[in-house]
Structure 1
Amino acid sequence: MGEGGGCSSTPQPPMSVVKSIELVLPKDVVYPAGSSIEGQVVLILNSTLVDPVVKVELVGRGYVEWNEEIGASRDYSRDVICNNKADYVHKTKTFPVEDNWLSAGSHTFDFHFNLPPRLPSTFASKIGHVSYFVQASCMGREHVLAKKRTYLSIQGTSDFHQENALQSPVFVEAEKKVSYNCCMQGTICLQIQMEKNTFAPGEGIVFTTEISNHSGKSIKTVVFALYAHVRYEGFTPKAERRSREDSSELLRQEANTQIAPFDATKIVSTLNLPQVLSVSSSTRDGEIMSTRYELVSTVHLPWSLTCVKAKVPIIVTGAPVDTAGCQPLEGAALPVSQECQN
């Protein structure tokens, strides 16, 4: 669901004064909102550069777009493009250059940025994306001589852990009467038990499924899946508000069982969440998308051409950051700055 780790650079013309410009950042790091990003810009020059401007930027933004059919009730239809965008962070640091010139050779510039405490997670789908990147550039007199961009993986945070420190166990039950062998009927009961239903990215969702088979047929397959339901908010060219919801299966696990007629069984399962996930949220003014999650256990009954489903709402929340010390809390052991400055 992210764009972390990618990088791009502009090609250099022959005999350019700039040989290369590089960004040095920790590899494969997930940064929680509110933490610090530390790195270096390494600039290598072929010759002396006068009046240089060397800077680094931190940029985060989101964008959604989709086509929507309208006018179907009038026996015609046409597509209208709905879109929306948001800017989450834009910080710039321009490095001081002594005597206003740089000699040929290698030059290293240290930087760090503090991320805002409230950010959406890095995200990508066919409809929308949220991306963050650090970009270094070197300019001469009115010309960009070199540029380098590296994308970041950002994990959004929330206050849900603080507001709901004590979580109660979760119990969901679904029951269905099914027909088989023409005139025979039975009941399938499906139960899901969890110690909690709130999790952080990277955590394992542990749950117990109990299936009671009060029928004369065997049950062979049970499927567990975690779904993400994303609601997008956009506007038409006439500034009319539109929304669209899209669902995707994030995780899936299948258990091959042999539950005999008039028998019951328990299955303990674990679904491990990705390291970067959008936090559960409801759409508020100014937001371009919101996400909710659902754990679904499905008992397939091919002999009755039906199935039994039990659904549990799952809440995903990032671990909040200790902004007083600019340190992520336990469970988010990521490198951060020892200082608190932009």
Structure 2
Amino acid sequence: MEEGGGCFSASHPSMSVVKSIELVLPKDAVYLAGSCIKGQVLLTLNSTLVDPIVKVELMGRGYVEWSEESGASRDYSRDVICNNKADYVHKTKRFPVEDNWLSAGSHTFDFHFNLPPRLPSTFTSKIGHVFYFVQASCMGREHILAKKRMYLLVQGTSDFHRKNPLQNPLSVEAEKEVSYNCCSRGAVCLQIQMEKNTFTPGERVIFTTEIRNQTSKCIKTVIFALYAHVQYKGFTPKAGQRLRVDSSELLRQAANTQITPFNTTKIVSTFGLPQVLSVSSDMRDSEIMSTQYELVGTVHLPWSLASIKAKVPIIITSTPPDSDRCQLQVGGVLPASEDCQN
């Protein structure tokens, strides 16, 4: 969990009444959409504060932005800014203050928020961002005396795998006839097998690769990579809709092996998925972006200036928590509470 915002104060004589304001939340917690966020606001005062407003807010937002050229067929070009934004959650809790004043010293305020059951995961790229934060603030009669913000890791949920079933277990094969040593030719076959193709964030992806080398050359390196293909939806200043696809490499692994001529080798590989990932989706389920995943195995053949790729579609999903429980996906389970209603 990233911390930001700090304690804000302005140059006003009355504002020195607040010594500090802090947020207390579980360290490095990953919150599942639909679960409960519990924490505390710690407010420390140098002197008595009359008519205070102490509150905490939960906010979640997303936006995308990119530039594209237009008029490429003419003698000029110009950049068109495409953007889009979405508000996912905004909840506020104002703490009651007895007798409308707070004495000097430390004061603790407990809070909780229920996350909506459908949220996108915390996400950042050069084009798009989805972010969540909790912000505490203290106000006097007219001024903000102090505020503190902490960013949250939120894992979205999805039933995408039920709508888009794939073969389970899964096997993908690619074969190529290659030339080497002037007139010599031979085939290289790459096969990737998986027991399943649907995973949750934080899970281990285990797969078996079989390489059949029917050439007289040695194969030394096989590369495995997990890619995320994200489609962004934006609008131009004239309200024209634009789509853009951007791919990024999430995980990469190289297997250095000696696959001798006319031989077959098997490699068992494992990827550990990050704790927070955007769930697999299509644009119909998303306001500003959608994500698909692909595991790619590549055999490089430098002696033939060729390569062979086998691509396996991967589905990332996460099941919503029980509606009557306040739980964390990482860092344990918080017990159900009768006051988790916000």
TM-score by length of 2: 0.94
Could you say which residue in structure 2 is the equivalent of 1:120? 120
**CA 161–35 in structure 1, closer or farther in 2 if over 3 Å, else same:** farther
List alignment gaps of at least 5 residues for structure 1: none
Could you say which residue in structure 2 is the equivalent of 1:275? 275
Could you say which residue in structure 2 is the equivalent of 1:192? 192
My pick for the range that moved more, 163-172 or 319-328, is 163-172
Give the superposed CA RMSD.
1.8
Paired residue secondary structure (1:99): helix
Could you say which residue in structure 1 is the equivalent of 2:159? 159
- CA distance, structure 2, for counterparts of residue 69 and residue 156 of structure 1: 33
The residue correspondences of 1:1-342 to structure 2 (distance < 5 A) are 4-12=1-9, 13=11, 16-160=16-160, 168-284=168-284, 287-327=287-327, 334-336=332-334, 338-339=336-337, 340-342=340-342
**CA 289–334 in structure 1, closer or farther in 2 if over 3 Å, else same:** farther
| Alignment-mate amino acid for residue 126 of structure 1 | K
| Alignment-mate amino acid for residue 338 of structure 1 | A
Identity rate of aligned residues, in percent?
75
> Does the 8 A contact of 2:170 with 2:197 survive in 1?
yes
**CA 31–140 in structure 1, closer or farther in 2 if over 3 Å, else same:** same
> Does the 8 A contact of 2:7 with 2:21 survive in 1?
no
| Alignment-mate amino acid for residue 78 of structure 1 | R
List alignment gaps of at least 5 residues for structure 2: none
- CA distance, structure 1, for counterparts of residue 286 and residue 311 of structure 2: 30
| Alignment-mate amino acid for residue 41 of structure 2 | V
> Does the 8 A contact of 1:31 with 1:334 survive in 2?
no
User: Aligned-pair distance for 1:112?
Assistant: 0.4
- CA distance, structure 2, for counterparts of residue 138 and residue 335 of structure 1: 30
| Alignment-mate amino acid for residue 5 of structure 1 | E
| Deviation sequence 1:190-233 (CA, Å, 0-9, x none) | 10100000000000110000000011111000000000001110
- CA distance, structure 2, for counterparts of residue 217 and residue 123 of structure 1: 44
| Alignment-mate amino acid for residue 297 of structure 1 | G
**CA 251–300 in structure 1, closer or farther in 2 if over 3 Å, else same:** same
| Alignment-mate amino acid for residue 261 of structure 1 | P
> Does the 8 A contact of 2:225 with 2:253 survive in 1?
yes
Paired residue secondary structure (1:74): coil
| Deviation sequence 1:69-113 (CA, Å, 0-9, x none) | 011012321101000000000000000000111111111000000
User: Aligned-pair distance for 1:320?
Assistant: 2.2
The runs of at least 4 consecutive aligned structure 1 residues that moved more than 4 Å come to 160-167
> Does the 8 A contact of 1:37 with 1:336 survive in 2?
no
- CA distance, structure 2, for counterparts of residue 112 and residue 165 of structure 1: 37
> Does the 8 A contact of 1:35 with 1:336 survive in 2?
no
Paired residue secondary structure (2:73): helix
